[in-house]
Chain A
């Protein structure tokens, strides 16, 4: 070890470039990255998928994927160039002087080894303690990482702990040897928002206590703004902007940063989405969506239907104003091995207003997706009623159910899984039409082309397979498929949660402008309150199968009644960020 003056930075990266070998060629993941982290400083690298932020972080500890290669540059840490360091030197630094908090706590602990042993292993590896003192130190580290009952949990195995608890274990592993630098690689992106916040708070406290430097990798500008002393924005393998949160968020210079801030739902104080598309031209609307609901090829009766609906004078519960009503929905699941029943959904009632968006918000296990499946009739209710367009469809079967499906369509959460990989985009979009035997071949081809146009994809995608499209493009295809039958209600099951923020904003914009143009009603499922604020008119907050609060979006966000809603709202990162709304 070289003696260091206090002024010397902990980490200096100069002109780093990392390449990946892929089956089709070499990809520059990181092109030219130079950065430094001072002692006790917290630096956040923000970027979207493929920006090179994680690759940069992994290059520091030299734990890159086998296909990656450092093309040039240096990474100096404590007087050693890590790029050219020997394996022995690296081993002495990893865990001892640089701690790593990984992305996904649920898979980052060895499943067959006890928690305590895994934490103590760091000390054993570096010869800092013998077996017995290491075990005691592990319990202490777990306590410092904020794990309740550390003595008990140290004797348990990873699968017995929740995701949040496991992340605390990983934090304990990172801090136990008292490192000079902690690298946290998206430490909370796999966790629920409320837990996210606790974990990040705790990392902050620990770093402040010990004067440890932190390199935080995140895709969420809000998190970076809340937590870091300095923000570095990366895009396409290069640093595009660098500065304090006030500088970066308050006066972004680079167009990419500006776009990112505009797209970030959590920073969007106006609570609205940018309608990236103009309202569809009238002739397109009439031509593509002029047909009857559920049967696009009929010439519509122009005086009726969602486009011309005038809700004034109708009562709240009437079909003219609400398209879907759920009354006291209950769904029980039998627990395996005769363990009784669990309420996945308990007594949930709500109504989806016609031409508007009703959002169900909740964390994992809250029952929001199950509720949506019940409303869609993909699952059967244990008790309760579902009314669609004023008609009781709770027990609809066979033909009736198929007729219902024509008017309610779904967009699934994960566009990487929801499209049949064997079919062309054209076949995927016309699949619902074929399923109902609507139109002839030419009509269906025309409609597929029109729909692709409506969701703003180039017509060249029609002959491609899903694998050739990016995630955002695939989600547009899924939306086009959902629109094919001219439905009245779309159930959107976390339609943007698999996408990067800038793509998220585009898809949300598309959905909002479609609603404006076509008078569609949405049932929108999400875990992200910030997204809900942008798109929904009414919102229901779910927790453990119960609906704890329902109301207009403005009211709920301004004056939450339930403490759980308040906790969720507080957990939205970026609340205190000094954002100047551009434009």
Chain B
């Protein structure tokens, strides 16, 4: 078991290294002049000499391979580089932004799981066909709604219409509610879609008939037999859902003028602050990798068919159905 964990940790580090390489290639090796970007979007009158100075300052005059290795070396020491406009360490910028983002992301995830999961359960549980159909029609709408627009509607209704929550800022719990709801909408809708589809399929499985034939009531059949089996496939996309939450903060924090990772990202992109953008990308990849690592460790406990064994790079978690019949 401990060997398995060690191996999975190694693989996780491998993915992170690959993510670093991809982001390096995108940000430094694509055609374009990083130095000109460094000079800033408004710098139209920089001279060639000034650009050279900039290149030397950030090591951009060295061959790409050398830059790559130097950056990687710095990364291993925990150094993500320095933000260009502010001159502050990227790690510090990200670290400061995490708590505020964590608040809305945690509440958002909670809401998404509760509402999305509840909706899926209710839609498949109800005996009223019309009600079930109606409930199942909701998640597709949730997925199709632009997040930034939904956020503005929330502000219009619950800050200006009925003044329940503040429209902007970061003061206390009330200011967390609307951003969290904004984040929860697409995530919850995704969870509801996945889980309801999975539930519908599971409820058609022969072992559900076996449960009915035992004389089990609907509560026992749905909760004890169907839900656990149906939730397993949904669990495999936890990493993607967390990633979705993270990228949702860019729009959400912009609309609600909250500090946080999303705002840092939006600002960095606007100022073409390459080190910060790379730092954020690496952070997101790290969150994804850690989430999947946790899911991978928990999964065999929930699904006895999965036997821990060597696996290659972690993929979007895959439920290999090993229950072949021989």
Contact = CB atoms under 8 A, between A and B. Distances in A.
B303 interface: yes
B207 interface: yes
A337 B214 contact: no
Given A125-B220, A159-B304, A337-B310, A104 B206 contact: yes
B215 A91 contact: yes
Contacts of B149: none
B294 to A, nearest CB: 19
Contacts of B205: 107
A92 B303 CA distance: 31
B323 interface: yes
Contact of A100 (B207, B213, B324): B213
Contacts of A49: none
Interface string B214-234: 111100100001001100100
A432 to B, nearest CB: 33
Interface in A73-132: 91-96, 99-100, 102-104, 106-113, 121-122, 125-126
B229 A111 contact: yes
A108 B210 contact: yes
Contacts of A157: 304-305
B302 A125 contact: no
Interface in B277-326: 302-305, 309-310, 322-326
A126 B215 contact: yes
Interface centre among B209, B217, B325, B326 (most CB of A within 10 A): B325
Contacts of A162: 325-326
Nearest to B210: A108
A337 B213 contact: no
A159 B323 contact: yes
Nearest to B217: A91
Given A102-B206, A108-B206, A110-B211, A91 B216 contact: yes
Given A106-B325, A108-B206, A94 B229 contact: no
Contacts of B228: 112
A158 interface: yes
Given A107-B207, A337-B310, A112 B214 contact: no
B212 interface: yes
B304 A110 contact: no
A364 interface: yes
B326 A95 contact: no
Contacts of B210: 100, 102, 108-110, 170, 173
A562 to B, nearest CB: 22
Contacts of A337: 309-310
A299 to B, nearest CB: 51
Contacts of A102: 206, 209-210, 213
Nearest to B211: A110
A99 B309 CA distance: 39
Interface residues of B, number: 28
A163 interface: yes
A416 B3 CA distance: 46
A365 interface: yes
A108 B215 contact: no
Contact of A96 (B215, B220, B303, B304): B215
A456 interface: no
A121 B209 contact: no
A106 B205 CA distance: 11
Contacts of A107: 205-207
Nearest to A104: B206
A61 interface: yes
A110 B225 contact: yes
Given A91-B216, A93-B215, A94-B214, A103 B206 contact: yes
B307 to A, nearest CB: 10
A63 interface: yes
B226 to A, nearest CB: 9
Contact of A122 (B214, B229, B325): B214
Interface in A164-201: 170, 173
A187 B6 CA distance: 46
Contacts of B325: 106, 162-163
B214 A173 contact: yes
Contacts of A109: 207, 210
B323 A61 contact: no
Nearest to B305: A159
Nearest to A92: B215
A108 B323 contact: no
A109 B209 CA distance: 9
A390 B214 CA distance: 61
A144 B220 CA distance: 27
A337 B215 CA distance: 43
Contacts of A104: 206
Interface centre among A63, A96, A159 (most CB of B within 10 A): A159
Interface in B173-226: 205-207, 209-217, 220, 225
Nearest to B212: A63
A125 B214 contact: yes
A91 B304 CA distance: 29
Contacts of A103: 206
B207 A110 contact: yes
Interface centre among B207, B228, B305, B324 (most CB of A within 10 A): B207
Contact of A95 (B213, B225, B303): B213
B47 to A, nearest CB: 63
Nearest to B214: A95
Contact of A110 (B229, B302, B309): B229
A91 B218 CA distance: 10
Nearest to B208: A110
B143 to A, nearest CB: 26
Interface centre among B213, B303, B304, B322 (most CB of A within 10 A): B213
Interface string B109-123: 000000000000000
A96 B216 CA distance: 11
A95 B214 CA distance: 4
Contacts of B211: 110, 121
A122 B304 contact: no
A100 B304 CA distance: 26
Contacts of B206: 102-104, 107-108
Given A111-B229, A159-B323, A125 B209 contact: no
A438 B228 CA distance: 57
Contacts of B323: 106, 111, 158-159
Contacts of B309: 337
Nearest to B209: A63
Contacts of A112: 228-229, 232, 302-305
Contacts of B310: 337
Contacts of A173: 210, 214
Interface centre among B211, B215, B229, B305 (most CB of A within 10 A): B215
Interface of B: 205-207, 209-217, 220, 225, 228-229, 232, 302-305, 309-310, 322-326
Given A110-B225, A122-B215, 7 more contacts: A91-B215, A91-B216, A91-B217, A100-B210, A102-B210, A108-B210, A112-B228
30 contacts: A63-B212, A63-B213, A91-B215, A91-B217, A94-B214, A94-B215, A95-B215, A95-B216, A100-B209, A100-B210, A102-B206, A104-B206, A107-B205, A108-B207, A108-B209, A109-B210, A110-B211, A112-B228, A112-B229, A112-B232, A112-B303, A122-B214, A122-B215, A125-B214, A158-B323, A159-B305, A162-B326, A170-B210, A173-B214, A337-B309
Q: Which 5 A-B pairs have the closest CB atoms?
A: A95-B215, A159-B323, A95-B214, A100-B213, A94-B215
